[in-house]
Amino acid sequence: MSTELTLELNSTENSLEQLEQAVDYFSVRRDWPVSLDFKIKLILEEVVLNALNYGHLEKPTNVSLKITDLDKEVSIEILDDGKAFNPLKDAPVPDTDAPLEERPIGGLGVYLVKTLVSDISYERINDKNSLSIIVDKSNTD
């Protein structure tokens, strides 16, 4: 049974549905608990959809995804050919203490992802955004 899922997506396809179906299949084959499956899907939806929706305005954005199921963690590598964007530094920091109606739009997805992962790092490599994420499998309550 493969411990790795690779997927190519672009913003001209029904990418969210394709992503969800691939992760569903992989999750079942790897016998992930529901909580881990939900966490991985939520992380991917936030990160991949942001790349697909905002990577380019004038042409489709391409995203390569690799998920590796390891003994104690899940490793996620996301590459996109969109404009340079480091979500760890460039996304606005949300004021979670402000009343909802006073909060500006943006940044909450990145904030949420940071709370769900064990480690996250960004690099710009060969004109591509590279985001590496580690999710601790023991912390999926």
The secondary structure of residue 92, as a DSSP letter, is P
By DSSP bridging, strand 73-80 and strand 4-10 are: unpaired
Distance CA(133)–CA(75), nearest Å, equals: 6
Annotated domain spans of the chain? 4-136
Which of the listed ranges 7-16, 80-89, 125-134 does the model predict with the highest average pLDDT? Answer: 125-134
User: What does pTM read for this prediction?
Assistant: 0.86
> Would you say 31 and 74 are in contact if contact means Cβ atoms under 8 Å apart?
no
Residue 87 sits at φ, ψ, to 5 deg, of: -65, -20
Q: Which CATH superfamily is domain 4-136 in?
A: Histidine kinase-like ATPase, C-terminal domain (3.30.565.10)
Mean pLDDT computed over 91-101 = 59
List, for residues 65-89, the tens digit of each pLDDT value.
Answer: 999 999 999 999 999 999 999 988 8
Query: b or e along 12-51 (b: 16 or more beta carbons within 10 Å of the residue's beta carbon)?
Result: eeebeeebeebbeebbeebebeeebbebbeebbbbbbbbb
What DSSP element (H or E) covers 132?
strand 128-136
